[in-house]
Amino acid sequence: MSEAIEVDIGDLPGVGPATRAKLESGGITTILDLAASTTNELVDNMNLTEETAHNLVYEAQKLLREKGYLEKDLVSANELFARRAKMLRCTTYSANLDDLLAGGIETQSVTEFYGEFGSGKTQICHTLCVSAQLPVDQHGLEGSALYIDTESTFRPERIAQIARARDQDIESVLNNIHIAKIYNASHLELIVRAMGGLIQQNNVRLVIVDSIISLHRAEFVGRGTLSERQQKLNAIMHRLKRVAEIYNVAVVITNQVQSTPDTFFGDPTKAAGGNIIGHASTYRIYLRKAGQERKAIMIDSPMHPYGDTNFMVVEGGITDPPDKKPIKILKNPPSSKHLEKEDEEE
Ligand code: GTP
Ligand code: MG
């Protein structure tokens, strides 16, 4: 169901076999991947001169604009409205969480789940890989999932368990999840650059990055490397956002909470990665353990009210607790006191 983008990199002025080969060596195989690149990325990774790199990105963006794939510099609210009308929502299998998200995970957006270890981030990702395959009229995305696994925590047997509990065909569900196991930060940068092609070839509707920050956090240690790390994360987030919009896919990222080595006195309820990740995520949801249950708190959203709700992790993935309660709407943004409270109900 991904709309095919029928423009080839070779259609750009000045792109011969040599340039094409250089771009391919850096993972750029589609015009969208090129259009979403920064000049620096091409210079650093693909051995292109700054002038060539600049021209390539410019021409790619221009061509996509002309063909109507990329938003023009100015769009009317009507055009935006038409684009938003194509947006789909994917159920999490928890009505509570769906309500908090105003109907589920959205395509054309980046949804960030952050929280401490064991708060359910990876379990939500696994569950979404199953529910995304449901037909649209059953609140799925009718497409496959691309799972970018940076922590080696993807488990096919967990997928099989969830699919079985949800009466979905296990083999077909497993067939429609494509896993990219990522071992280092530059590998993550590479796969994110090359994502357009993967999405088109595999009818991907859901892209998971679990987690967005662990590799960069491990590789860029110490104050001196912070700005380089943030620059790299910024490029990744920028591209994820673009991909979500252009290919009408839902992008879900997980993030850790801040603790050392980022800062000794950090607020433990703050997401890692600073503003770079926060600003690029359309929705941010903070997760924390609450006894046997998990609490999900809407931290940042252009359209949802602040609120919180509870869900549970069970054999069938994510689900509602037995005593389903309506979303608790908060008048003000959640305070750190609210976030840290350890018991279930106040
Ligand atoms: P980190 O990646 O370590 O930061 O944590 P996370 O937020 O990704 O945690 P994850 O989603 O892996 O949650 C792990 C928790 O989910 C475990 O502590 C279990 O409580 C629960 N869980 C995982 N698998 C199952 C299962 O098959 N059945 C049930 N009932 N619970 C499960
Ligand atoms: Mg995890």
Closest residue CA from atom 1 of ligand 1: 117
Name the pairing type of β-strands 307-314 and 250-255. Answer: unpaired
Q: How many C-alpha atoms does 205 have within 13 Å on its Cβ side?
A: 26
Contact yes or no for 130/169 (Cβ under 8 A):
no
Task: Tell whether pTM > 0.75.
Answer: yes
**Ligand 1 atom at minimum distance from 315 CA:** 28
The span from the CA of 28 to the CA of 191, in Å, is: 9
**Sequence-separated (6 or more) residues with CB below 8 Å from residue 346:** none
Q: Say how many C-beta atoms besides its own lie within 10 A of residue 10's C-beta.
A: 11
- CA–centroid distance, residue 255 to ligand 1 (Å): 15
Closest residue CA from atom 29 of ligand 1: 314
- CA–centroid distance, residue 210 to ligand 2 (Å): 7
Q: State the CATH architecture for 2-66.
A: Orthogonal Bundle (1.10)
Going from N- to C-terminal start, the domains of the chain cover 2-66, 87-339
Pocket (CB within 6 angstroms of ligand 1): 115, 117-123, 153, 313-315
Query: What burial class does residue 98 get, using C-beta atoms within 10 Å of its C-beta: 0-12 exposed, 13-18 middle, 19+ buried?
Result: buried
- CA–centroid distance, residue 258 to ligand 2 (Å): 15
CA distances from 125 to 32, 65, 318 (A): 26, 33, 10
- CA–centroid distance, residue 253 to ligand 1 (Å): 16
Closest residue CA from atom 17 of ligand 1: 118
Mutational test site, ligand 1, from 312, 313, 314, 320, max ligand atoms within 8 Å of CB? 313
> Residues with Cβ within 5 Å of ion ligand 2?
121-122, 153
- CA–centroid distance, residue 81 to ligand 2 (Å): 35
* CATH for 87-339, options being 3.40.50.720, 3.40.50.620, 1.10.3720.10, 3.40.50.300: 3.40.50.300
The span from the CA of 73 to the CA of 16, in Å, is: 28
Closest residue CA from atom 4 of ligand 1: 117
Show the tokens assigned to 70: 């990329």
Contact yes or no for 26/49 (Cβ under 8 A):
no
CA diameter of the chain: 65
* pLDDT tens for each residue of the chain, 346 residues long: 345 567 788 888 888 999 999 999 888 888 888 887 888 888 888 889 999 999 999 998 888 888 777 666 667 788 778 888 899 999 999 999 999 999 999 999 999 999 999 999 999 999 999 999 999 999 999 999 999 999 999 999 999 999 999 999 999 999 999 999 999 999 999 899 888 889 989 999 999 999 999 999 899 988 888 888 998 999 899 889 989 988 899 999 999 987 655 455 555 678 888 788 888 899 999 999 998 999 999 988 877 778 899 999 999 999 999 987 777 777 777 765 556 644 433 3
- CA–centroid distance, residue 117 to ligand 2 (Å): 7
